[in-house]
A and B are shown apart, each in its own frame.
Chain A
Amino acid sequence: MSSFQGFSISEKEKEGHSQEDNGHVDTKEEIGDYIAHHLKDAHDFHLFSYTSDSGERKHVGFSLPVIIWSSKGLVSFMSSEFHHDDAGHTIVDKKGLKFTKIHSKIYELDANATAVSFDEEHHATNAHKVLDFSITKSVFGILIAGLLMFLGFFSLAKGYKKGAIPTGIGRVLEPLVIYVRDEIARPNIGEKKYKKFMPYLLTVFFFIWILNLIGLTPLGFNVTGQIAITVCLALFTLVIYMTNGSKDFWAHTLWMPGVPYILRPVLAFLELVGFILIKPFSLLVRLFANITAGHSVVMGIAALMILLKAQFGTAGATGISFFLTLFLMVIEVLVAFLQAFIFTMLSALFIGMAVEEHDHTHDH
């Protein structure tokens, strides 16, 4: 419900209207912009903004380090140096290079340019993007999730030294670990080989689930809705099932027995495309799209509070949007678990397909 707070108190500073109306979000377009902005990664951790009595914009949050690989090597500074500007107006001078940020992307300006200009295909003409290893909001979210996992599971692991039955938070975590093992890994990979993949499956399951849940808090994270994150997760699964493929798997993929020789290369091509492109693509797109869609819909429904104000009055519009958002949030909590489950489940399924060994007693 990050949007909820954001909308009700005030609004992120957006170029074009922030100066004139103190950054309030009132129209459909502004709401669309606001949602689009939320869905993107950000270089500072921003909770909400408000306008003080003296008419000054105040931002609540903190800045995060920017680490970029520019034409002169590694450059780092705090994101506060951009002064919450996301439209390329503030230019930061470091190592004699000029950097500016447009829509969460950092550009390195050419020597004599003062502002980024774009051609018709939206390519910068006098600047180029830099490799951005900043601790962005998403990276910050990943670190928080990692920290939570460390704390929770280290304490669970330590608990076993004292006794066979976990105490405290371990009581909640242990059934989840057993769930992943018994419902996801064992049936899909097989009794013999599942152990090898447990670390990956468990890590990915809890990683996605925690990040999905963090995304539902008012902190405004949208980590699993970042395409880079889901691409990375899908690539890990791809690499794991490709490198662990059994002899049978490769034999069946590349030279399918039991079909006419002419068809075999065609089948091999289709199988390879399926395993290398389609399966990881469906994995990454599913997670990305579910989380993105969930965030947009929740924020859009929350924005009804503003859009319906004219028809139903403040209280009516707030009530409608509150109950609809509440309903959607309940669904989103379910989706948060379901997507983590599906990702892990399908990863296990693909790994199971790759490591499976057929008994050759029957003729193919």
Chain B
Amino acid sequence: MYNLIGAGLIVIGGGIGLGQIGGKAMEGIARQPEAAGKIQTAMIIIGALLEGLAFGALLLGK
């Protein structure tokens, strides 16, 4: 039960983080469309780091 609540919290936190990353990346791309490739790569890397963190936390709570 508690670990499900924890999982929910992790997902909320991760979702906020991913939203921030994605949103800012979109803003960046809109501002500088020619840098879209670089921004996308950086976005995916940071997203992956966040994902690793969230999955780590999920598995620790499992």
Contacts and interface: CB of A to CB of B under 8 A. Distances in A.
Touch test A–B (CB under 8 Å): yes
Interface of A: 183, 187, 281-283, 285-286, 289-290, 338, 341-342, 345-346, 349
30 contacts: A183-B41, A187-B41, A281-B52, A281-B56, A282-B49, A282-B52, A282-B53, A282-B55, A283-B52, A285-B55, A285-B56, A285-B59, A286-B48, A286-B51, A286-B52, A286-B55, A289-B55, A289-B58, A289-B59, A290-B51, A290-B55, A338-B44, A342-B44, A342-B45, A345-B44, A345-B45, A345-B48, A346-B45, A346-B48, A349-B45
Pick from B44, B52, B53 the residue with the most CB of A within 10 Å: B52
Interface of B: 41, 44-45, 48-49, 51-53, 55-56, 58-59
What are the 8 closest A-B residue pairs judged by CB atoms, nearest first? A282-B52, A289-B55, A342-B48, A286-B52, A285-B55, A285-B56, A286-B51, A286-B55
Given A286-B52, A342-B48, 8 more contacts: A183-B41, A281-B52, A282-B49, A285-B59, A286-B51, A286-B55, A289-B58, A346-B45
A271 B46 CA distance: 19
A349 B52 CA distance: 15
Q: Is the interface of A mostly helix, strand, loop or mixed?
A: helix
Contact of B52 (A183, A285, A341): A285
Nearest to B38: A187
A341 B59 CA distance: 22
B43 to A, nearest CB: 12
Nearest to B57: A285
A285 B48 CA distance: 11
A338 B51 CA distance: 12
Contacts of A283: 52
Contact of B56 (A282, A338, A342, A346): A282
A340 to B, nearest CB: 12
Contacts of B48: 286, 342, 345-346
B32 to A, nearest CB: 18
